[in-house]
């Protein structure tokens, strides 16, 4: 990790023994990682082009935005020109408005909750993920499958109903340690 000049947030060290143990573990696993990466001359590529690997290997704390969440989800639309596609286009605009609404909000749910709801993650991981955004008829609330990184959003007649359903669905679904 020294190659990238990235160091992760260190756990709280309570005493010198903990610090010593932490340093020992860090050196041990760093050495193991370097040995593993030396296979196929990967370390050499890392040293020559660290900026190319930085986004995949190093954690950076960034504020989640509506645009970022929108770009993370890959939208699954019906055939162009179909009735379903027209409804999906309308609801897709609700989805985008909803993300903007969450970005400006100061109370739950937040954009991080959308990511948690659909992927089980609180933050965008360094390695890119491609969660799916799917439209579902005959359901009033959103559903998610974190194993497949999928959010199914309801096709509702108005933005107000969509927003209320999304808020309710995310706030009342079991989560992964969300406070």
- pTM metric for this prediction: 0.69
**What's residue 143's pLDDT?**
94
Contact yes or no for 91/80 (Cβ under 8 A): no
Return the pLDDT at 43: 77
Asked whether residue 98 falls in the same domain as residue 128, the answer is yes
pLDDT for residue 9 is more than 70:
no
Asked if residue 164 and residue 87 are part of one domain, the reply reads yes
Q: Can you tell me whether residue 129 is helix, strand or coil?
A: coil
Any domain includes 179: no
> Looking at residue 130, which CATH number applies to its domain?
3.30.2410.10
- Last residue within a domain, chosen from 12, 29, 57: 57
Same domain, 39 and 79: no
Specify whether 153 is located in the same domain as 103.
yes
| 178 part of a folded domain | no
- Domain residues for 120? 66-171
Are residues 73 and 122 both part of a single domain? Answer: yes
pLDDT band at 155 (very low <50, low <70, confident <90, very high): very high
Question: Do 42 and 106 lie in a common domain?
Answer: no
Alpha-carbon span 71 to 122, nearest angstrom:
16
Domain count for the chain, please give it. Answer: 2
Task: Give the 3-state DSSP-derived string for 18-42, with helices as H, strands as E and coil as C.
Answer: HHHHHHHHHHHHHHHHHHHHHHHHH
51/71 same-domain check: no
Give pLDDT tens digits for 12-39: 556 656 777 778 888 888 888 878 878 8
14 and 75 housed in the same domain = no
Active site residues: 147
Strand, coil or helix: 176: coil
The overall average pLDDT reported for the chain is 84
pLDDT above 50 (res 161): yes
Asked if residue 71 and residue 31 are part of one domain, the reply reads no
Residue 90, SS3? helix
């Amino acid at each position: 990790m020294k190659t990238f000049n990235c160091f992760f947030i260190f756990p709280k060290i309570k005493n010198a023994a903990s610090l010593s143990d932490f340093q020992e573990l860090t050196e041990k696993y760093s050495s193991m990682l370097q040995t593993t990466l030396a296979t196929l001359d990967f370390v050499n590529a890392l040293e020559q082009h660290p900026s190319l690997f930085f986004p995949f290997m190093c954690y950076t704390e960034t504020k989640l935005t509506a645009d970022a969440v929108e770009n993370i989800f890959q939208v699954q639309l019906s055939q162009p020109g179909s009735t379903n596609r027209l409804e999906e286009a309308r609801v897709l605009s609700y989805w985008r408005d909803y993300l903007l609404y969450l970005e400006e909000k100061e109370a739950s749910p937040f954009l991080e909750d959308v990511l948690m709801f659909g992927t089980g993650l609180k933050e965008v991981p360094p390695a890119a993920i491609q969660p799916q955004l799917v439209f579902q008829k005959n359901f009033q609330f959103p559903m998610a499958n974190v194993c497949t990184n999928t959010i199914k959003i309801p096709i509702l007649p108005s933005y107000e109903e969509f927003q209320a359903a999304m808020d309710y669905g995310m706030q009342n679904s079991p989560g992964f340690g969300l406070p």
